């Protein structure tokens, strides 16, 4: 299992090993023991699985506030997506900055998005499946969102002239400047 740091403290790309032959491949997509050996000891309690039918579907940028804040470990079960984390921790040297990575069935990469970051993605292929582990259960009263297209953040979603497919909630999400973030940066 390869762990690759990103410019955002705590956000890492995880690439599990794949062992293939003429039949296909085998991959251990999650191992608490292997991650703990790399210093990642997050107790995950819930797995989520979503399907987006159309390329250009944007979901996010979402988070859950404390006491229900979630760490997420995101992977692509089928298709391809561009996955994004945005630092929303008050006082962080990277506040408002983002990191994105292509996750696909083919590359097997995963993105670890810690609590204190908003998360979102755009699908690149039809019928893309997103599978992610969460360290806390879903709590509607704690959910929050910021605008996927906030110019202050400036995420390059790679949409070109394509109009995104959005939920009503995501289309109306507030700007980062209007967010009173419930998260505080606590050092490295």
Two tokens, residue 52: 């987006």
- Answer for the pair 158, 152: CB distance below 8 angstroms, yes or no: no
Two tokens, residue 11: 């956000």
Considering the candidates 95, 119, 132, 138, report the single residue annotated as catalytic: 132
Q: List phi, psi (to 5°) of 65.
A: -80, 155
- Answer for the pair 153, 94: CB distance below 8 angstroms, yes or no: no
Question: What helix, strand, coil percent values describe the chain, rounded to 5?
Answer: 10, 40, 50
50, 56, 95: which is closest to 76 by C-alpha? Answer: 50
147, 159, 88: which is closest to 118 by C-alpha? Answer: 88
Q: List phi, psi (to 5°) of 134.
A: -125, 145
Considering the candidates 22, 49, 62, 68, report the single residue annotated as catalytic: 62
Instruction: Look up tokens 């970051």; give the residue.
Output: 117
49 is catalytic: no
**What positions carry a catalytic annotation?**
62, 132
């Amino acid at each position: 299992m390869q762990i690759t740091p990103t410019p955002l403290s705590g956000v890492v790309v995880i690439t599990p090993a794949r062992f293939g032959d003429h039949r296909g491949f085998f991959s251990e997509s999650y191992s608490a023991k292997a991650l703990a050996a790399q210093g990642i000891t997050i107790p995950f309690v819930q797995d989520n699985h979503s399907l987006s039918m159309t390329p250009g579907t944007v979901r996010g940028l979402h988070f859950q506030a404390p006491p229900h804040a979630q760490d997420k470990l995101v992977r692509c079960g089928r298709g391809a997506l561009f996955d994004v984390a945005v630092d929303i921790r008050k006082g962080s040297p990277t506040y408002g900055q983002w990191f994105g990575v292509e996750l696909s069935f083919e590359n097997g990469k995963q993105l670890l998005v810690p609590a204190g970051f908003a998360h979102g993605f755009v699908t690149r292929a039809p019928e893309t499946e997103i599978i992610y582990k969460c360290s806390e259960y879903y709590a509607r009263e704690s959910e929050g969102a910021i605008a996927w297209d906030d110019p202050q953040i400036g995420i390059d979603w790679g949409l070109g002239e394509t109009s995104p497919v959005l939920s009503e909630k995501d289309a109306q999400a507030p700007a980062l400047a209007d967010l009173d973030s419930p998260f505080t940066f606590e050092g490295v």
